Structure 1
Amino acid sequence: MSDKEFRKRNLILPIYLPSLLFEAALSALFPVLPVSATEYGFDLASAGAVITAAMLGTLLFEAPASLIVNRIGERASMLLASVVAAGFGVLGFLNLGYVALLIAAVGFGAMFSLFGLSRHSLLADLVPQDHRAKSMSLLGGSFRGGAALGPVLGSVFIANFGIESAYLVAAALCLLGGVSVLAVPAKKLSSSPSGQNGNIWEVAVRERSKLLTLGVASMIISAGRTIRMIGLPLLAIQLGIDAATSSFIFGFTGLIDFALFYASGLIMDRWGKFWSSVPTLIALGVSYLFAFLVTDLTSFWVLASATALANAASAGINMVLGADMAPEGSRSEFLAAFRMLTSGGVVAAPAAISGITALLGLPAALAITGLINFYGAFLFWRYLPLHAPDKHLGD
C-alpha cells in the first residue's frame, strides 16, 4: 500500500480493535485457569501447568498457523481463530474436568498464535515501512489496553456469576473481535502470497542469518519483558511487601507502560530501531543486574519504574523487526519462524527464573538474566544495520 493510500484509522476495525479484544480475552482467562485447576483438586504445580500449556500451545502452533494463513489468507485466518478460540472458551465454561481444561488452554493458546501471525502478516502488508513503527506501537498499545480490560471484565462477571463466567467472557470477546474483522470487506484487505518459496523450515534455513542474530535478540527482549512480570513480584514477596502495596506499584508502573507506548513508534520512525531496542535491553540489564541492591519499598519502586520505562520504549519493536526482515513471497513462513523464537523466550523465561532461583537465589537469577540482556543489546547493535536497516531514514 502506498503512503497516499495509507491511513492508520483504516486499521482500527481489522487490526487494532480485534487485537484489543483478543488480548482482553486471554487476559480474562489467565487468572482463572489455575484457580479452576485447584477447584478440581490439583496442587499448585498442576495448576501452574495449565498456564504453561497455553504458552506451549502458542509456541507449537506457529508452524501450522503459517500453513493456514497461506491457504486461506490473513482475514479468514483471523476469523477462524476468533470462532475456534470462542469454542475453547465454551469448553472451559462447561466445567468438564482437568483434562478438558488443559485442552481448552492449549487450544486457546494455539488460536492466539494463529490470530497473532495472521494479524502480523496483514499489518506488514498494509503498512508502508515509514509508517510501520508508529502503527505497530499502536498495536502494542492495543495489547496493553486489552490486558487491562480483560481482568476487569472477568472480575465483574466472576463476582456476580461465578468463576466459570470468565470463560464465557473470553468467548464473547473473541467473537466480537471476529465481528470487527468481518465488518471490513475482504477486498479491502489483501492476502499473503500463497507461499511458493518454501515451507517454514526451508524459509528458516534460508533466512538463518537473520533468525540466529536478530531473531535471537528478539527472543531475549521477549524473555526480558516476561522476567519483569515474574521476577519482580517474587522480589516483592522476598522483601516482605504486602500484596495490596505490590499490586498498587504494578498498577502504577502499568500506567507508565501504557501511557508511553506510542513514544516507541515515534523513536523508531524518527531515529530508527536501534534507539528502541538497544537502550531497552541495556536498561533492563542494568536493572536486573543490580536487583540485589533493592532492600526496601523505595528502592523497589525505583526498580519497578525503571523496568516499566524500558519496556514502554520498546513497544512494537519485535513486530516492526519481523515485518522489516520478512522476505517477499515467504512473509508468513518467516514470521512464523520469527514468532517461534519470540514465543520461546516467553515460555523459557519462567523456567529459567525458577531453576536459577532454586540453585542460586532470586537476586542471582535476575543478575544472570541481566547479563543475557546485554548480549541481546550487542546483537541488535551489530546486526540491525546488516539485516534490518531503516531505509526510510535516508529518504
Structure 2
Amino acid sequence: MVFDPSRPHHVDPARRRGRGAASARPGRFDAVREAVDDGWGMAETDAPPLRTIVTEERARSAIVRNTSPDVPFDRALNPYRGCEHGCIYCFARPTHAYLGHSPGLDFETKLVARPNIAEVLARELARSRYRPAPLALGTATDPYQPVERARGLTRACLEVLEAAGHPVGVVTKGTLVERDADILARMAARGIARVAISLTTLDADLSRRMEPRGPSPARRLATIRRLAAAGVEVRVMLAPVVPGLTDHEIDAILEAAAGAGAVAASWVMLRLPREVAPLWREWLAEHRPDRAGRVMARLREMHGGQDYRADWGRRMRGEGVHAELTAQRFAAAARRAGLAERLPPLRTDRFAPLTAGPAQMRLL
C-alpha cells in the first residue's frame, strides 16, 4: 500500500516503523476526526516517529468476569491496557475505543498501566465470599509486553497469587516471562500455574511484519524450552491461524514446540471483530497484497460471507469445509507431536484467603 496523505487517518511508514497498524483509524465511539492545519506547516513526513506513551489509571477492580462458553475460564486479570507488541490481528484492539483512542496505532503507542492492581487483587481475594477458580493472566493485552520490564505489575500480581495459593494460567508471547520462572516454577510444583506461549508462524520475516515488537519465533521457542526446564507446563497456542497465510505451518509449528518442551497445544482461527477488520485489510494490502484476496475469501467462507461473525460456538474456529479441515489437520499434527489438547485442571484446594496486603505478604 502506497502512503496516501489525502487519507487523514493513514500514517507515513517512516513514522510508524516498527508498528503493526497502518493508520490511526478512529474507534466506533469517536466523532469524525478531521486533519486540521494548526499553523505550523509541518507535513506528515516531517513529523517525528511515533513514540510509546504510558499513562496510569487507578484500578477500582482487578478481576474481570466473563460468561463466554468459548473460553475455559470465567475470570481474567490484565495489568495493562493496550499492547506495544503491535500484533495487527489482535482481537483486543477495539477495547481502546472505550478510552477514546484509536484501535489502530493508539492501541500500540498509548498504553495504560494500572499501578495499584496487585493491591486491589489482594483485597478481592481476601473477600469472604470469594471462591477460587483458575484465573487467566493476560487475555486482553500481553502481561509481558516491554513496559512490564520497568513497571513489574505482572510480577507483583503473581506474588499475590502465589501467597494466596490461587491457580493462574499465563498467556503471553513475551520472553520477559522467563524473569518470573522462579515464581511460576514454585506455583507449578503446587499444581496452581501453567503458561501458554503464542506462536503464530516460524517465518521470522512474516512475524516481524505481523507482530512487529513481539519476540522472534526462535526466541519464543527458547522461552518454551527454558520454562519447561524450570518445571513449568507450557501450552503452545497457534493464535491465530491465518487461512491462506500461516495455516500451512501447523505441522511444523507443533513439531518445533513439542521439541522445545511444550506438553499441550490449542488453536484459534483469525478473528476480525469491529475495527480489527479494516486494520487487517490495510495490513494485507501493504505487506501481503498477493495473498489478500485468498485470505479474505477463506475468512468470509468461514463466516457466512462476512469478514467476521461473533456467534457463540463459531467465532473462535469459524465453520464450513476449510474450518473443519483446519481442525482435523491440527488434531492430527498434535497427536503426531505428542501434544495434549487438554491438561488436568489446576488445583483450587491450595487457596487460602489473604489477610495481609502485598507489602506484608512479601515478608511471609
Q: State the TM-score, normalized to the length of structure 1.
A: 0.25
Structure in which a larger fraction of residues adopt strand = 2
Q: State the TM-score, normalized to the length of structure 2.
A: 0.27
User: Taking CA–CA contacts closer than 8 Å with sequence separation of 6 or more, which of the two structures ends up with the larger relative contact order?
Assistant: 1
